[in-house]
Amino acid sequence: MRIDVISLFPEFVDQCAGFGVVGRARERGLLSLHGWNPRDHAEGNYRRVDDRPFGGGPGMVMMIEPLRAAIRAAQAAGHVDDRPPARVVYMSPQGRPLDQAKVRELAALDRLVLLCGRYEGVDERLIRAEVDEEISIGDYVLSGGELAAAVVVDAVARLQDGALNDAESAIQDSFEADGLLDCPHYTRPVEHELGTVPAVLMSGNHAEIARWRRMQALGRTWARRPDLLDEAALSPADRRLLDE
Ligand code: SAM
């Protein structure tokens, strides 16, 4: 997969995506990341990328032309014959909240362009003309879209085939497959002053372990995120457990 990031600080996203699973995915050639600075596409001695908002008020607004030129350069660089242009996503607090289903959808694409705003945001006309989708990483306001883009890159990279050493681990994660939260995890030592590992996990009885994990996942989801249960894939046995 190829991801192009349009940002005044493209090196920020690049560095965020240099470690662990994402760094490995890049080393393995499963993901390539390319930064495009709109300032490189701005005109004049000052290479201006922002200007004052019409109508007055505080802050600055990112201008159309440097952003449009950067998006076009990214599209051209990643163009493959007969393939449609990359989907352009504007990272925005006003977008659809990111969830694991959206991450899976994005991870299945060949290409993606992530547009990061700064200041008060981006000229609305550019969003209407060049952006396919707006995505938010939560109901709070960041100073720029770079952290949000890094979140998308990370979540999407770990879903690339071969990125995780054990592909099973992604399937067991929260929000995956059945839509529940993950069960708790333990490792050595068995005995510790902070507590003892639940005996069932050392029983060697795989059916009992699976049942315990399922109960924990159901219980946690019920206690922490009951909203997820409406959409979760639950068996009749799961429902009986939840009714108890
Ligand atoms: N004035 C804008 C508003 O209230 O909708 C906020 C602008 S914010 C200070 C600057 C940039 O940060 C935005 O253009 C966007 O790219 C990014 N950003 C801020 N919060 C975000 C969030 N929750 N999710 C994704 N991107 C965000």
Could you read off the pLDDT of 176-203 as tens digits, one per residue?
989 999 999 999 999 999 999 999 999 9
CA distances from 79 to 30, 74, 105, 213 (A): 17, 8, 20, 45
Q: Based on the fold, state whether residues 184 and 136 are members of the same structural domain.
A: no
Residue 166 within any structural domain of the chain: no
Do 134 and 190 lie in one domain? The reply is no
Is 239 a residue of the active site?
no
Q: Does residue 86 sit in the same domain as residue 22?
A: yes
Domain total of the chain:
2
We report the CATH number of the domain holding residue 234 as 1.10.1270.20
116 CA from centroid of ligand 1 (Å): 8
Q: Of 120, 133, 134, 176, which residue is the catalytic one?
A: 120
Q: 142 and 48, same structural domain? A: yes
145 alpha carbon, distance to own chain's centre: 12
46 is a domain residue: yes
Residue in the block written with tokens 């707006």: 134
| Spacing, Cα 95 to ligand 1 middle (Å) | 9
Compute the distance from residue 14 Cα to the ligand 1 centre, in Å. Answer: 19
- pLDDT value of position 221: 97
117 lines ligand 1 (CB under 6 A): yes
**pLDDT value at position 48?**
97
Active site residue 158: yes
The answer to whether residues 133 and 179 belong to one domain is: no
Is the CB of 92 within 6 Å of ligand 1? Answer: yes
Question: Would the annotation count 119 as a binding residue?
Answer: no
Residue 181 lies inside a defined structural domain of this protein: yes
- pLDDT, residue 15, reads 95
* Judgement on whether residues 13 and 128 belong to the same structural domain of the protein: yes
Domain final position from 96, 125, 157: 157
Please check whether residues 182 and 153 belong to one and the same domain.
Answer: no
| 91 and 124, same domain (yes or no) | yes
Told to judge if 66 belongs to the known catalytic residues of this protein, a careful annotator would answer no
pLDDT of res. 165: 87
Ligand 1 neighbourhood includes 37 CB (under 6 angstroms): no
Catalytic residue among 10, 38, 66, 93: 93
Reported as type and span, the H/E element at residue 4 is strand 2-6
Residues 99 and 147 in one domain: yes
Q: Is 137 annotated as a binding residue?
A: yes
Q: Which atom of ligand 1 is nearest to the CA of 137?
A: 24
Q: What is the CATH number of the domain that holds 113?
A: 3.40.1280.10
- Map 30-94 to HEC letters: CCEEEEECHHHHCCCCCCCCEECCCCCCCCCEECHHHHHHHHHHHHHHCCCCCCCCCEEEEEEEE
- Do 99 and 150 share a domain, yes or no? yes
- Domain of residue 121 covers 2-157
What pLDDT sits at residue 177? 80
Please give the Cα distance from 76 to 86 (Å, whole number).
10
Contact 35 CB / ligand 1 (< 6 Å):
no
- Specify if 36 maps to a domain: yes
Mean pLDDT for back-to-back runs of 10 residues, the chain (244 residues): 98 94 96 98 96 97 98 97 96 98 97 98 98 98 98 97 86 90 97 98 97 96 96 92 84
**40 flagged as catalytic:** no
ipTM value of the model? Answer: 0.99
